[in-house]
Each structure stands twice: as structure tokens, then as C-alpha cells.
Amino acid sequence: MNGSTVTQFILLGFSGSQSAQLLVLLLVLTCYTIVLVGNLLIMVTVWTDTKLFQCPMYFFLANLSLLDISLGSVATPKLLTDLLFSGCTISYGECMVQIFTAHFLAGVEVFVLSVMAYDRYVAICHPLRYTTIMDRQHCLSLLILCWVGGLIHGIFQAVVTAQLPLCGPNILDNFFCDIAQLKKLACSDIYVSEMLYVYSDSLIILPNLLTLLVSYVTILATLCGRFGKGGRKGLSTCGSHLMVVFLLYGPLLFVYMKPSATSKVDKMASIFYMIVTPALNPLIYSLRNKEMKGALGKLKNKCKHFLLNHQE
């Protein structure tokens, strides 16, 4: 039994003039198109290139792209519908599903980024043992642990949120069901819930952030002694990954690891990690990665040959 008497919520979204709403609609639609096309292209490229598919780094990259598509689809389709038809309500059940799905997928993505950092650490610091340590079975086991960890986090967040005493009003100043906004609607003391949120967020964000920091400090210390082609390639790969880490962790830390902030700032941070970051990730990896650009070129040629043969 949940602690709420509210059956639906009104999402304020991005209020403004009709021209401003249209501009937001076009920007969100553009980002979402890039999310779908860019990440799907990375997945297809990795899965169709035998060399890339056998490489753990690209195996995890394909899974990261799948997560970006999924995370980007949690709230964006409804946001586009709301902007198009000016209908900004969501039922209590749909709200809980959004919260669970968003935290589940974000949790998995946080774990996957840590695993990718571990993969780069083994590849650069222990190259002779890399193929033994990061074999396919080990990679699959790590990926399963990532999904299980994200699932536990998502369930925990949804269960705690379902216990919030919501008696009204039912207005959320965001474009999706945001826990920070829901807490503001609580009609009684939620100190225990606040502590559970902090504990849960700290348990998933801080250890993974520490893993990333230790991995990359060690990697950079190792690469300092390499000035050849291998060292430059390692720095380029790690640079792409660090950019993706920063784009995800920056908004997450800002939204969930701070005492309070204005609704507008929270809203911008939320749209950044739920829509903008999933759109930027494929651009970062495809533009900064020589092997990925080569594989994309091969895929393009295969498609051309297929179309020419089909026309004949």
C-alpha cells in the first residue's frame, strides 16, 4: 500500500509561448533522432564487424549504446507528445514506472562505465594478461552484474518513492516524474525516505566514481612513460570515455547528490543526462575513434553494394 492519495500528476514541462514550445519541440526531436540513429548505428557497426565484436571495449560500447537508446526513451516520447498536443498529465502508476525505469537504466549505465574503465585499465596496465582476464565469459558475467545492480537500484528507488505521503497538490515542475519534485509534494515528514535516497544514491554513485578515478589515475600514470603510437591511441580512447563519464556523472551528481536547487536548474540538468548525453555519446565515440570510423566506412560500403546489387 503506497502513502499517496494522488492518482495523477500535472507536468509543467517547458512552459512558455507557442513559438518557444515549438523551438523546444524541434530541439528535443533533433536530439532524440540523434539518440536513436547514432546509437543504433554504433550497435549495428559493432555487431556486423567481427573484429570489433570480439573486442571487449566495443562489446561494452554496443551495450552502452543500447542503454542510451533506452534511457533516452524513458521520458522523451511523452515529452514530444506533450509539446505537440499540450497535454501534460501522467497517472500515478505511469509515474512510478518512469521512476523505476529511469533509475534502473541510469544505474546500469553507471556500472557499465565503471566496467569500461576497468577494461581500459587491464588493456593498458596488464596488456599480456588482457585476453585472459577479459575473455567473453568474464565480459558477460560483468555485464550481467551491471544489469542486476541497476535493477536493484531501480526497485529500491521505486519502492521508497511509492511510500511518499502525497496528499496534494499534484503539480510537478519538470517534464517527467522526478523524485526531487515528488519529495516537495510530501504532506508529512519524509526524513527516513530522504536518508534512504541519500544512502541508495551514494551506494551506487560514489563507489563507481571512485573506481573510475583509481582506474584512470593508474592508466594515466602508466601512459606517461609511453610516447609512441600505442600511448597516443590509449590516451585517445581514454579521452573519449572520460568525456562520456563527465557528461553522465556531472548532471547526476548535481541533481541527486546536492541538498536543494531551483526547479529550472534541476530541469535543465535532467534533460541533459536523459536526452542530450545519450545524443552526444555516439558522436564522441565515432568521431574520436579511428577503428570505429573505419568500421563505419566498411558498413557504408556494404550498404552501397547491397543497394546497387538490389537495383540490378
Hey, what amino acid is at 38?
Answer: G
In this structure, the number of other CB atoms found within 10 A of the CB of residue 196 comes to 17
Tell me the three cell numbers of residue 112.
Answer: 557499465
Calculate the average pLDDT of the chain: 85
Count CB-CB contacts under 10 A for residue 154: 20
The confidence score (pLDDT) of residue 19 equals 82
d(CA 199, CA 197): 5
Residue 232 confidence (pLDDT): 61
Selection from 203, 206, 237, 209 nearest residue 223 by Cα: 237
H/E element, 49: none
The highest-confidence range among 10-14, 58-62, 226-230, by mean pLDDT, is 58-62
- pLDDT computed for residue 308 by the predictor: 66
The pLDDT assigned to 247 comes to 81
Residue with cell 563505419: 296
Q: 3-state DSSP helix/strand/coil percent for the chain, to nearest 5?
A: 80, 5, 15
pLDDT computed for residue 119 by the predictor: 93
| Residues 73, 274: Cα–Cα separation, whole Å | 8
Residue 263 pLDDT: 63
User: What is the mean predicted confidence (pLDDT) over 189-205?
Assistant: 89
The string of pLDDT tens digits covering residues 159-189 is: 999 999 988 789 998 889 988 889 889 888 8
Domains, the chain, ranges and CATH?
Answer: 8-311 (1.20.1070.10)
The model carries a pTM of 0.88
Q: With a cut of 60, say whether residue 2 has pLDDT above it.
A: no
- The residue ranking higher by pLDDT, 271 or 107, is 107
Would the pLDDT of 230 be above 60?
A: no
Neighbouring residues of 190: CB distance < 8 A, sequence distance ≥ 6: 164, 165, 183
**79-84 mean pLDDT:** 89
Burial environment of residue 93 by CB neighbours within 10 A (0 to 12, 13 to 18, 19 or more) = exposed
- Sign of the torsion angle spanned by Cα atoms 25, 28, 90, 173: negative
Distance CA 312, CA 307 (A): 9
Long-range CB contacts for residues 303-308, cutoff 8 Å, separation at least 24: none
Query: Quick check: 269 and 255 in contact, CB under 8 A?
Result: yes
Q: How far is CA 38 from CA 85, 107, 121, 215, 222, in A?
A: 27, 22, 27, 28, 33
Strand order in the sheet with 8-11: 89-91, 8-11, 171-172
pLDDT value of residue 306: 64
Kindly state the percentage of the chain with pLDDT values over 70. Answer: 87
CB atoms within 10 A of CB 81: 12
pLDDT of 260 strictly over 60: no
Rounded Cα gap, residues 180 and 172, in angstroms? 9
Band (pLDDT 50/70/90 cuts) for residue 154 is: very high
- Range in 183-187, 238-242, 305-309 the model is least confident about: 305-309
- Which 8-state DSSP code applies to residue 89? E
CB 37 within 8 A of CB 62: no
DSSP tag of 8: E
Residues 305, 62: Cα–Cα separation, whole Å:
25
Asked if 185 and 166 touch (Cβ cutoff 8 Å), the reply is yes
